[in-house]
């Protein structure tokens, strides 16, 4: 018993040291470097026109990507779990959903350029109609939607499997329409899975840089998100720019901590639904 307790404590100590070295220490350094010249200097960097624009563009892109992926995720999970159609087609769809997990975001950006760029498959048509996608906000939104696509699906599908379809069948037997069954039976049973998937999607959308960097023109005030602002300031010469990079990184870290808090609150309820 004593040996088992020592082994448990040792594993906890190793895990804590690992997390400290990998996560807590770097985050602590970012916060320390942000405020090393005082709160006023950090606030000045956070409230520059470029930083304010980057913040709102980041929030706007997340506000577009998250609802789209939520609707797609719930619908796709229903197809994967409840559909009685072609099993091979569902297997292909199931594999395609995980594509953003296995493909580098940079490749995603390049693929979007090939499809929607000036010489891409559909880029010329959009350009002729006055719509610019690549090196503009629409392309950045497409990149964000793609990289954050799987999370709601992967959270909702296991919940649907766990709750089964007996209640849905009973509702249909009693004369409920498909929409009534979904709204009154299915959705309440998967709501915590949906909520957790939304939080994960939000976190991914807020922090995306690889695919967005490729399709963005990196113009302050129009196509510069917070992650891109950190990248741009860090690449510039001068201690002031480095402080600005840390200030923007701290802003992102605070947003991530809020998302982490939401995940912590939702995690127990999500487990209870399974």
Q: What band does 11 get if pLDDT is binned at 50, 70 and 90?
A: confident
Q: Please report the pLDDT score of residue 240 as a whole number.
A: 67
Q: Over the stretch 173-192, which tens digit does the pLDDT of each residue have? A: 888 888 888 889 999 899 88
CATH class of 39-272: mainly alpha
Q: Over the stretch 29-88, which tens digit does the pLDDT of each residue have? A: 888 888 888 888 888 888 999 999 999 999 999 999 999 999 999 999 999 998 877 788
DSSP string across the chain: -HHHHHHHHHHHHHHHHHHIIIIIHHHHHHHHHHSTT-HHHHHHHHTSHHHHHHHHHHHHHHHHHHHHHHHHHHHHHHHHHH--S-HHHHHHHHHHHTHHHHS-HHHHHHHHHHHHSTTSTTHHHHHHTT---TTSHHHHHHHHHHHTTHHHHHHHHHHHHHH-SHHHHHHHHTT--HHHHIIIIIHHHHHHHHHHHHHHHHHHHHH--HHHHHH----TTTS--HHHHHHHHHHSSSHHHHHHHHHHHHHHHHHHHHHHHHHHHHHHHHHHT-
Q: Please report the pLDDT score of residue 66 as a whole number.
A: 94
Q: Which of 55-64, 111-120, 150-159 has the lowest mean pLDDT?
A: 111-120
Q: For residue 271, is pLDDT > 70?
A: no
Q: Please report the pLDDT score of residue 225 as a whole number.
A: 92
Q: Please report the pLDDT score of residue 82 as a whole number.
A: 86
Q: For residue 156, is pLDDT > 60?
A: yes
Q: Please report the pLDDT score of residue 236 as a whole number.
A: 77
Q: Over the stretch 189-244, which tens digit does the pLDDT of each residue have? A: 998 889 989 999 999 999 899 899 999 988 888 889 999 998 888 887 666 678 88
Q: Please report the pLDDT score of residue 194 as a whole number.
A: 92
Q: Please report the pLDDT score of residue 212 as a whole number.
A: 92
Q: Please report the pLDDT score of residue 272 as a whole number.
A: 62
């Amino acid at each position: 018993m004593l040996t088992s307790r020592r082994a448990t404590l040792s594993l906890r100590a190793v895990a804590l040291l690992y997390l400290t070295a990998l996560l807590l220490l770097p985050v602590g350094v970012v916060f320390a470097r942000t405020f090393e010249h005082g709160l006023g200097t950090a606030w000045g960097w956070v409230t520059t026109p470029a930083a304010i624009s980057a913040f709102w563009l980041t929030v706007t892109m997340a506000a577009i990507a998250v609802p789209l992926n939520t609707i797609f995720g719930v619908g796709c999970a229903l197809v994967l779990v409840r559909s009685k159609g072609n099993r091979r087609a569902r297997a292909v769809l199931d594999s395609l959903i995980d594509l953003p997990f296995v493909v580098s975001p940079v490749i995603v950006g390049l693929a979007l350029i090939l499809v929607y760029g000036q010489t891409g498959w559909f880029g010329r048509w959009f350009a002729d109609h006055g719509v610019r996608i690549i090196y503009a906000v629409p392309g950045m939104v497409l990149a964000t939607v793609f990289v954050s696509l799987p999370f709601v699906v992967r959270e909702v599908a296991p919940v649907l499997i766990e709750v089964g379809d007996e209640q849905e069948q009973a509702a249909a037997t009693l004369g409920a329409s498909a929409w009534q069954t979904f709204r009154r039976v299915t959705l309440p049973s998967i709501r915590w899975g949906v909520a957790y998937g939304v939080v994960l999607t939000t976190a991914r959308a807020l922090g995306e840089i690889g695919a967005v960097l490729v399709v963005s023109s990196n113009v302050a005030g129009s196509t510069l998100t917070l992650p891109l602002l950190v990248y741009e300031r860090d690449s510039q010469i001068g201690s002031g720019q480095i402080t600005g990079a840390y200030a923007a990184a701290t802003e992102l870290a605070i947003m991530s901590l809020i998302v982490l808090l939401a995940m912590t609150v939702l995690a127990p309820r999500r487990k209870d639904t399974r």
